[in-house]
Amino acid sequence: MSKNPYNWIEKSLTTIHRANWYRSVQTIQSLPGSRIKLDGRSLVNFASNDYLGLAGDDRLIEAAIEATREFGTGSSGSRLLSGHRQLHRDLELAIAQLKQTEDALVFSSGYLANLGTISAIVGSRDLILSDEYNHSSLKNGAKLSGAETIAYRHLDLKDLEDKLNLNRDKYRRCAIVSDSIFSMNGDICQVKELIKLAEKFDCMAIVDEAHATGVMGETGAGCVEYFGCSGKELIQIGTLSKALGSLGGYVAGSRLLIDFLRNRAPSWIYTTALSPADTGSAKRAIEIVKSEPQRRDRLWNNVKILKQKLINYPLLPSQSPIVCLGLNNPALALDLADKLKSEGIFAPAIRPPTVPKSRIRFSIMATHQPEEIEQLATIIKRFYQTSKQEN
């Protein structure tokens, strides 16, 4: 009898296909931006996290080239051994200044920042309270830490408080962990109330500002700034890869926290330092976030316009540039995504298991033109008219 221990892979893929859960990549053949070339066609892009339109900006490209010429393509080692450059430190100081924290630390990605930070600050004697819709990297960081993890209902701070009341005393340290803008919905966490609960129950608070940095708050520092919580002691995590148009992650907080992480976060210690190109372009992006608030104004104006146009359609609650249209099943979501694509709009269908309920997710950019938003709204309206007739 010859058994093949890899046979299960094909079976699993078949199951994924049957459930309409199958996913694959699509090749973009142009600079990132509000309009991209995909499969040879020009499409309006509502699938990008590049909220401010910086990932294709000449100034970031120049900064990346300059850093590459000066320091090479690779950092050639971990930060502690041989990979550290002044450029990394300059970027960390720029992040700390934007966030109004004592210090900051850059990781090779936001995912690694979350894994490394959470697993460093709590362990098996500790407790994590985690919003049920938190990003995968926060959930996996919690697993890696070995701490007891209890999920509370999405954005439900009453449920969080109940669970703290029931459980906090049984553990040594406790961390409350939440996305600030939830990436698959676009709704936002009440950061101020979350911090208050953390203070009341002697917990650390970790807020993941991945989608909020550059977008929320007067200076683009994120939801912590937006809710007037700058200067409070907490742990802010985020990415350089969304509104900042580069690649990498960061943690911002107290000098002691950052010093501790440099000594205890394995996903920072045992990995190669951020490349010079990514570091240089992220640093340039932070300067632009500060000096060009008009980009944020344009972004929020575009968000307002789209939400107004779709006011009679089943939008999920959102207070951010992520706007989702709820659909009853994955097949319908795929159908609408296909229709949008055939009419010149690129926006992803987000389906289980990523989210419980299928949806199309539109990410608005500062650089979208009014006609492009109009085009999107028109196609959606037509889709609902025809699907009503079919029923």
Ligand X SMILES: *Cc1c(COP(=O)(O)O)cnc(C)c1O
**Interface residue list for ligand X (CB under 6 A):** 109-111, 114, 135, 137, 179, 183, 208, 210-211, 239, 241, 249
Nearer to ligand X, 53 or 245 (CB): 245
Q: Which residues of 358-375 are buried (b: 16+ CB within 10 A; e: fewer)?
A: bbbbbbbbbbbeeebbeb
What's the closest the beta carbon of residue 142 comes to ligand X, in angstroms?
A: 13
- Cβ atoms of 369 and 298 within 8 Å: the answer is no
Least distance (Å) between residue 335 CB and ligand X: 26
Pick the closer one to ligand X by CB: 113 or 373.
Answer: 113
- In this structure, which amino acid lies at residue 248? G
CB of 243 or CB of 373, closer to ligand X: 243
User: Least distance (Å) from ligand X to the CB of residue 339?
Assistant: 27
Question: Whole-number minimum distance, CB 3 to ligand X, in Å?
Answer: 38
CB of 138 to ligand X, least distance (A): 7
Which of residues 87 and 188 has its CB atom nearest to ligand X in the complex? 188
The least CB distance from residue 381 to ligand X, in Å, is 29
Nearer to ligand X, 34 or 178 (CB): 178
- End-to-end Cα spacing for the chain: 53
Contact, 280 vs 292, CB < 8 A?
no
Q: What angle do CA 306, 369, 43 make, to 5 degrees?
A: 95
User: How far is CA 241 from each of CA 49, 54, 125, 214, 317, rounded to the nearest angstrom?
Assistant: 8, 10, 34, 11, 25
Burial of 379 (0-12, 13-18, 19+ CB in 10 A): middle
Query: What are the DSSP calls for 303-349, one per residue?
Result: HHHHHHHTTTS-BPP-SSSEEEEE-SSHHHHHHHHHHHHHTTEE--E
Measured from the CB atom, the residue of 55 and 336 that comes closer to ligand X is 55
Q: Which two tokens stand for residue 11?
A: 């079976």
Residue with CB nearest ligand X?
Answer: 110
Shorter beta-carbon distance to ligand X: residue 26 or 165: 26
If we measure between CA atoms, which residue out of 100, 68, 59 comes closest to residue 87? 68
Minimum distance from CB of 310 to ligand X (Å)? 23
Least gap, CB of 87 to ligand X (angstroms): 18
The residues, any chain, with a CB within 8 Å of residue 157's CB and separated by 6 or more, are 190, 193, 194, 197
Structure-derived torsion over alpha carbons of residues 49, 50, 51, 57, reported in degrees to the nearest 10:
180
Identify the CA nearest to 175 among candidates 136, 217, 137, 204: 204
Q: 114 or 367, CB closer to ligand X?
A: 114
